[in-house]
Amino acid sequence: MTQIRIRERHSRWVRWSHWLNVPLLMIMIWSGLLVYWANPQYIPFPQWLAKPLRMDYRLAEGMGWHFAVMWPFALNGFIYGLYLAFSGEWKEVVPNRSSAREAVQVVAHDLHLRRELPAQSGKLNGAQRFAYSGALLLGFFAVVTGVAILKPVQGSWLTELLGGYAWARFEHFVCMCGLVVFTFVHLAQVARAGWKNLRTMIAGYEVVETETDSRET
């Protein structure tokens, strides 16, 4: 007999901070690119690309958005971090002893090199644990390196710790690139996992089907 149960997968805190993070991160990346592109000395991408994307000479606009949205972006990440720490859910997200092996097996499965998915220890598989913890670290360092280049005089100790102003700027850019890569891979995985998985991040619940021996009931 098939038994169907509904089980909570993502709490309200996780879902709200996750979905708020999507527009906040997009605005931070877009406005950050406006700032980078405004100074020819710092061009991360060719100038010919800036024109068709209409991203040239918009420094004030970029800074305005970046410095306004950095507060809710950082606060949202902070609240999510506090939630993970105090609910004990960090144990489900941070890689554990079997995560490295599990992650290799999940990637092998995704590349069609292995037939079965490995047995999963907890809510997230090893590959997800590494990817999500990595994204959280990137978000954290994006804020830290951002503070270092926003306040290089008042926070000179931090800027020095990160290797000086030029390095902190570069590290800030690298964090952004990492978050972009994560988002693309994440979206591909979400598309692959299908609607049932996406629904868990919207509604919070997952449907669990278990086979029971009818003689037991």
Residue 55 in 3-state DSSP? coil
Of positions 107, 197, 204, 205, contacts ligand HEM by CB under 6 A: 197
Residues 6+ apart with CB under 8 A from 102: 118, 120, 121, 125, 126, 127
Taking CB under 6 A as the rule, does residue 114 contact ligand HEM?
no
Residues 6+ apart with CB under 8 A from 105: 114, 117, 118, 126
Taking CB under 6 A as the rule, does residue 60 contact ligand HEM?
no
Of positions 82, 190, 203, 207, contacts ligand HEM by CB under 6 A: 190
Residue 101 in 3-state DSSP? helix
Taking CB under 6 A as the rule, does residue 18 contact ligand HEM?
yes
Of positions 16, 150, 155, 186, contacts ligand HEM by CB under 6 A: 186
Of positions 13, 134, 183, 205, contacts ligand HEM by CB under 6 A: 183
Alpha helical stretches, state H, 47-125: 47-50, 59-87, 90-93, 99-110
Residue 153 in 3-state DSSP? coil
Of positions 21, 99, 105, 159, contacts ligand HEM by CB under 6 A: 21
Binding positions for ligand HEM, rule: CB under 6 A: 9-10, 14, 18, 21-22, 25, 93, 132, 135, 179, 182-183, 186-187, 190, 197-198, 200-201
